[in-house]
Amino acid sequence: MHVVLGVGGGIAAYKAAELVRALQTRGHQVQVVMTQAAQEFVRPLTFSALTGQRVITGLWPQDSDPGELSSAVEHIAVAQQSEVLIVAPATADLVAKFATGLADDFLSTLYLAFTGTTILAAAMNTAMWQHPATRQNLDTLRTRGCLIVEPDEGWLACGTLGAGRLPDPVRIAEYLDSVTHHKRDLEGEVVLVTAGPTQEPIDPVRYISNRSSGKMGYAIAEAAAHRGARVILVSGPVKIAPPHSVETIQVRTAHEMRTAVMEHLAEATIIIKAAAVADYFVSEIPKQKLKKTATRLSLELDPTPDILAEVGQRKGDRLLIGFAAETQNLMEEARRKMASKNCDMVVANLVNQDGLGFESDQNEVEIITRAGQRTHVGPADKTEIAEKILDQVASLHLSLRV
- Return the residue of 78, 325, 338, 345 that touches ligand CTP, per CB under 6 A: 325
The enclosing H or E element of 369 equals strand 362-369
In the list 9, 164, 322, 379, the residue contacting ligand CTP (rule: CB under 6 A) is 322
Are 57 and 34 in contact by the 8 Å Cβ rule? The answer is yes
For every residue of 373-389, DSSP letters joined together read: -EEEEEEEEHHHHHHHH
Q: How many CA atoms lie within 13 A of 188 on its CB side?
A: 4
Q: How many CA atoms lie within 13 A of 220 on its CB side?
A: 32
Closer of 242 and 357 to ligand CTP (Cβ):
357
Cβ–Cβ under 8 Å, residues 123 and 91: yes
If the CB atoms of residues 230 and 273 are measured against ligand CTP, the closer one turns out to be 273
Asked whether position 279 contacts ligand CTP by CB under 6 A, the answer is: yes
358 lies in the binding site for ligand CTP (CB under 6 A)? no
Catalytic residue among 69, 73, 158, 161: 158
Q: Is 338 near ligand CTP (CB under 6 A)?
A: no
Touching ligand CTP, residues 87-116 (CB under 6 A)? none
How near is the Cβ of 346 to ligand CTP at its closest, in Å? 8
Kindly report whether the peptide bond that precedes residue 169 is cis, defined as omega within 30 degrees of 0.
no
- 260 near ligand CTP, judged by CB under 6 A: no
d(CA 402, CA 199): 41
Alpha-carbon span 169 to 84, nearest angstrom: 16
Closest CA to 327 of 276, 259, 374: 276
- CB nearer to ligand CTP: pick between 109 and 199: 199
Residue from 13, 59, 176, 254 touching ligand CTP (CB under 6 A): that is 254
Q: Is 397 near ligand CTP (CB under 6 A)?
A: no
Contact region with ligand CTP (CB under 6 A), list: 149-157, 273-281, 362-370, 383-391: 273-281
In angstroms, what is the minimal distance from the CB of 236 to ligand CTP?
A: 10
**How many Cα atoms are found within 13 Å in the side-chain-facing hemisphere of 99?**
20
At closest approach, how far in Å is the CB of 320 from ligand CTP?
9
Window contacting ligand CTP (CB under 6 A); options: 52-60, 123-131, 224-232, 300-308:
300-308
Q: What is the dihedral of CA 130, 136, 137, 142, to 10 degrees?
A: 110
279: CB partners within 8 A, 6+ apart: 303, 304
If one asks whether residue 307 binds ligand CTP (CB under 6 A), the answer comes out as yes
Query: Does residue 364 belong to the site contacting ligand CTP (CB under 6 A)?
Result: no
Answer yes or no whether residue 186 interacts with ligand CTP by CB under 6 A. no
Q: Which helix (H) or strand (E) holds 258?
A: helix 254-265
Is 158 one of the catalytic residues? Answer: yes
Closest CA to 311 of 217, 193, 164: 193
* CA 11 – CA 24 distance, rounded (Å): 22
- Candidates 165, 230, 273, 318; binder of ligand CTP (CB under 6 A) is 273
Q: Which is nearer to ligand CTP, 109 or 304 (CB)?
A: 304
First to last CA, the chain: 31
Among 38, 231, 277, 377, binds ligand CTP (CB under 6 A): 277
**According to the binding rule CB under 6 A, does residue 351 interact with ligand CTP?**
no
Residue 304 makes contact with ligand CTP by CB under 6 A: yes
By CB under 6 A, residue 334 contacts ligand CTP: no
Please count the residues of the chain. 402
- Classified as helix, coil or strand, 347 is strand
User: What are the angstrom distances between the C-alpha of 159 and each of 42, 154, 179, 376?
Assistant: 21, 10, 33, 29
Provide the minimum distance between the beta carbon of 68 and ligand CTP in the complex, in angstroms, as a whole number: 57
192 binds ligand CTP (CB under 6 A): no
Q: Least distance from C-beta 275 to ligand CTP, angstroms?
A: 4
The site for ligand CTP (CB under 6 A) is made up of 194, 254, 273, 275, 277, 279, 304, 306-308, 322-325, 337
Give catalytic residues, as residue numbers: 158
